[in-house]
């Protein structure tokens, strides 16, 4: 395999709650004022991102993995997850509140949907004054109390509301009830799954005037009904070094704030993804230099063992499986 920084064409998703910050803030070529998601790196069937640079341009991510599985993913990732790309990388713009929802864990998702579960993390890129997330319950609740509140229209009274600002980061375990509030632009790293159980949608209607589907019965066995204060990610912002942000069985994320060039070394166990949060940088590997800026994402195959980030100032998330 020829080794170089891989750049993929994002897939834009229109959403009822979407806005225009992907275009106005991140300067993406996203038409329309209700684009809610930019899928940066995806192997999801039917929504696989396509490589746009270098000798493999035109291949989808799954096609590239199929041709060079160990070189792209890393042998350890290949052993754990097979040839299915294990994570999904997005930028999300919520002009309006998202539905209140949750995601099943691995076992339930595998049994019901033949899918990975969905554990995810968020990094807040921009937030309007007063913007909030819903993350979990205010206190432990029983299944019966939850059902009563849902049926009685008082579910929101049971939920925890979390104010946010730029630079905040959160870890959302599968089973945790949650919603991204209106006015928030964020980077999302998640297991490669598009399985969502929507339990409350504020009685909104889609473009055809229809209420969106709810999954209240499916959600009952997937919800974690306990209050858990485990979602705020406290992390260091030391410049010009890797700061551990999130660790999980599914993905590991570091935060980098650089004001000068940085040499990188990798152990070959996993691919590496860089999401640019602010500024610009050039990633150099295999003799190829690829520039990227805020709102763009690059991936290094696992077979790359050395690279260099050249920058006068940037913030990045560095992600491995």
Residue 198 appears among annotated catalytic residues: yes
Active-site residue, from 80, 198, 212, 227: 198
* Neighbour tally for 229: CB within 10 Å: 8
How does strand 272-285 pair with strand 169-172?
unpaired
Write down the residue that tokens 């930019």 correspond to: 38
Residue 229's alpha-carbon distances to 136, 263, 292, in angstroms, are: 9, 36, 35
How many Å apart are CA 301 and CA 163, to the nearest integer? 37
Strand order in the sheet with 169-172: 11-19, 35-41, 87-94, 184-191, 120-127, 169-172
**Any binding-site annotation on 178?**
yes
With CA atoms as reference, report the closest residue to 47 among 81, 9, 15, 16.
Answer: 9
In the chain the first and final C-alpha atoms are separated, in Å, by: 20
What 3-state DSSP class applies to 115?
coil
Task: List the alpha helices (DSSP H) in 82-156.
Answer: 106-113, 143-152
With CA atoms as reference, report the closest residue to 248 among 263, 230, 264.
Answer: 230
How many Å apart are CA 228 and CA 66, to the nearest integer? 40
**Any binding-site annotation on 103?**
yes
Q: Return the bridge partners of 286, or none.
A: none
Separation of CA 51 from chain center: 19
Q: Tell whether the torsion through CA atoms of 35, 39, 45 and 46 is positive or negative.
A: positive
Q: What is the dihedral of CA 181, 47, 116, 210, to 10 degrees?
A: 50
DSSP 25: T
DSSP 223: -
Which residues are known to be catalytic? Answer: 198
- Binding region: 103, 120, 178
- Binding region for Zn(2+): 103, 120, 178
């Amino acid at each position: 395999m020829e080794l170089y920084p891989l750049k993929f064409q994002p897939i834009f998703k229109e959403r009822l709650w979407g806005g225009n910050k992907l275009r106005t803030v991140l300067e993406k070529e996203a038409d329309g004022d209700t684009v809610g998601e930019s899928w940066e790196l995806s192997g999801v069937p039917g929504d696989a991102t396509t490589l746009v640079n270098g000798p493999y341009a035109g291949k989808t991510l799954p096609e590239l993995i199929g041709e060079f599985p160990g070189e792209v993913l890393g042998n350890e990732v290949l052993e754990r997850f097979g040839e299915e790309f294990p994570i999904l990388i997005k930028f999300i713009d919520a002009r309006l509140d998202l539905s209140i929802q949750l995601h099943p864990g691995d076992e339930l998702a595998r049994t019901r949907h033949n899918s990975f579960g969905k554990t995810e993390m968020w990094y807040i890129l921009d937030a309007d004054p007063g913007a909030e997330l819903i993350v979990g319950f205010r206190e432990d609740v029983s299944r019966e109390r939850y059902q009563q509140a849902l049926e009685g229209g008082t579910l929101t009274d049971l939920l925890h509301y979390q104010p946010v600002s730029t630079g905040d980061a959160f870890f959302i375990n599968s089973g945790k009830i949650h919603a991204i509030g209106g006015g928030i632009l964020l980077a999302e790293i998640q297991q490669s799954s598009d399985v969502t159980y929507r339990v409350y949608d504020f009685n909104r209607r889609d473009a055809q005037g229809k209420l969106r589907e709810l999954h209240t019965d499916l959600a009952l066995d997937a919800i974690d009904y306990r209050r858990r204060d485990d979602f705020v990610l406290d992390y260091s912002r030391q410049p010009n070094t890797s700061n551990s942000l999130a660790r999980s069985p599914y993905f590991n994320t570091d935060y980098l704030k650089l004001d000068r060039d940085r040499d990188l070394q990798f152990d070959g166990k996993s691919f590496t993804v860089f999401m640019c949060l602010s500024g610009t940088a050039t990633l150099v590997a295999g003799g190829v230099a690829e520039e990227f800026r805020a709102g763009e994402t690059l991936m290094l195959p696992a077979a790359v063992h050395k690279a260099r980030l050249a920058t006068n100032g940037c913030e990045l998330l560095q992600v491995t499986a």
